[in-house]
Amino acid sequence: MISINTHISLRPFNTFGLDANAAHFCTIHTIQELSQLLRQAPPQPLRVLGGGSNILFVQDVDGTLLKNEIKGKEILHTWANKVHVRLGSGENWHETVRWAVEQGLGGIENLSLIPGTVGAAPVQNIGAYGVELKDVFVRLHAVDLLTGQSKTFWKKDCLFGYRDSIFKSVHKGRYFITDLVLSLTRQHHSIHVQYGDISKTLEAMQVTGKPTIHQISKAVIAIRSSKLPDPKVIGNCGSFFKNPEITTALFENIRQNHPTAPGYPLPNGQVKIPAGWLIEQCGWKGKRVGNTGSYEKQALVLFNHGGATGTEVAQLAKEIIQSVKTRFGVPLEAEVNIW
Ligand code: EPU
């Protein structure tokens, strides 16, 4: 029998540091434990929790919460310049990046210091500084929580988009991802330093010529640490909103009043505009509302300064969405999952 605990505080299990309780809570270390648990017919619904770094709890969680602790990192195959690595979904993402960089394996160094687990990475196709998980993704294995069947999802099956995948849409909440296979490089790494801050930081680090993956990882860690609050100090979930994609016409309209408004043209003809800029323009940056607020160095990050409730954070998010909509006509969408 797999033991199921009742009435567990989730405060240690979410980086916002919010108070909520799980009616039933069970830690899963292996696929066998997961199969055993499913045979025990635990209280429904079942929900999977990784590092709790992209979740806003606005109420207690009913059913059974499955805390993913499936570990493991191994090299599956090696070719001349390539390796396939298999990663347990309960591994910490940043520890995994460090492991890869230490082994000289390239491809995920730009994704250094992203909080959360390996299993959460494909769900929202994590991305930073010009790289997304989909760029190195090969396949994942998952267990269907309805039927207990295992299934392989190849890259094309995952329908990856900007902070999006099939696990956020059609299959939302249906699968427990157990492991991922990524394709990394052994030498001749493709280096991504085009994202402004990276080349500037490498220059400040006095790196000349082609940077190593160690140096890129170090630069990314420096940039993230300087802009984003450490969840161990201030509760937060990184970017709270997605960067919206708007029409060229709307972007031109915004540019008329704000000639320096940042925007990045997309292949689909739309323009991606930084939500942080829109929120800052509406006067929210660095503003504290009770124990919550928008972070002073990156307006896109909402925080819990201690003692805030999930409802207060959600209320602030609602007000921000409303003011951006009124001022710019742009609908903001939350990136974090609201439970
Ligand atoms: N900006 C402002 N004010 C702000 C913040 C940003 O004006 O308070 C403007 C500036 O023009 C800045 C631009 O927005 O140049 C872009 O800012 P930044 O480089 O910080 O990136 P972002 O678009 O705000 C995205 C990701 C981050 C990721 C960075 C770097 C989303 C929702 N967020 O932020 O991801 O680290 O790019 O690649 O796409 C996360 O998902 O939790 C996360 C932190």
235-338 shares the fold of 73-185: no
Backbone angles phi, psi at 5, to 5 degrees: -90, 155
Q: Report the CATH number of the 73-185 domain.
A: 3.30.465.10
Q: 272-286, pLDDT tens digit by residue?
A: 999 999 999 999 999
Low-confidence ranges of the chain (pLDDT < 70): none
Instruction: Report which of 197, 199, 221, 218 is spatially closest to residue 210, judged by C-alpha positions.
Output: 199
At 237, which helix (H) or strand (E)?
strand 235-239
pLDDT digits (tens, 9 = 90+) for 193-237: 988 789 999 999 999 899 999 999 999 999 999 999 999 999 999
Sheet with strand 175-185: strands edge to edge: 73-78, 82-88, 175-185, 137-144, 150-154
At the top level of CATH, the class of 235-338 is alpha beta
Note whether 91 and 178 are within 8 A (CB). Answer: no
3-state secondary structure 273-300: CCHHHHHHHCCCECCEECCEEECCCCCC
Query: Are 86 and 181 within 8 A, CB to CB?
Result: yes
> Catalytic annotation on 163?
yes
Q: Which two tokens stand for residue 158?
A: 């995952």
| Contact (CB, 8 A) for 313 and 304 | yes
Tokens of 220: 């990314």
What is the model's pLDDT at position 196? 72
**Do strands 61-68 and 46-49 pair parallel, antiparallel, or not at all (unpaired)?**
parallel
Is 335 noted as a catalytic residue in this protein?
A: yes
- Enumerate the domain spans of the chain: 5-68, 73-185, 235-338
Residue 91's CB: how many other CB atoms inside 10 A?
24
Q: How far does residue 6's CA lie from ligand 1's centre (Å)?
A: 39
Ligand 1 binding pocket includes 196 (Cβ within 6 Å): no
Burial of 30 (0-12, 13-18, 19+ CB in 10 A): middle
CA of 274 relative to ligand 1 center, distance in Å: 6
pLDDT at 325: 98
CA distance 107 to 192: 9
Atom of ligand 1 nearest to the CA of 295: 8
Q: Which amino acid is at 57?
A: F
Would you say the CB of residue 243 lies under 6 angstroms from ligand 1? yes
Pocket lining: 179 vs ligand 1, CB cutoff 6 Å: no
Select which of 89, 112, 239, 294 is catalytic.
239
Of the residues 193, 197, 254, 277, which should be mutated to test ligand 1's pocket, given the most ligand atoms within 8 Å of the CB?
277
Residues 308, 316 contacting (CB under 8 angstroms):
no
128 lines ligand 1 (CB under 6 A): yes
**Per the structure block, which two tokens stand in for 176?**
């427990």
State how far the Cα of 6 lies from the Cα of 325, in Å rounded to an integer.
42
Q: Is 125 in the pocket of ligand 1 (CB under 6 A)?
A: no
245 by DSSP, 3-state: which? strand
pLDDT at residue number 195: 84
Helix (H) or strand (E) holding 225: helix 213-227
- Three-state DSSP at 198 gives helix
Q: Which atom of ligand 1 is nearest to the CA of 126?
A: 41
User: Of 247, 123, 230, which is closest to residue 174 (Cα–Cα)?
Assistant: 123
Interatomic CA distance for residues 15 and 27, integer angstroms: 18
Residue type, 244: P
Q: Is the CB of 175 under 6 A from ligand 1?
A: no
Q: Which residue CA neighbors atom 43 of ligand 1 most closely?
A: 239
Answer yes or no: is the C-beta of 298 below 6 A from any ligand 1 atom.
yes
CATH code of the region 5-68: 3.30.43.10
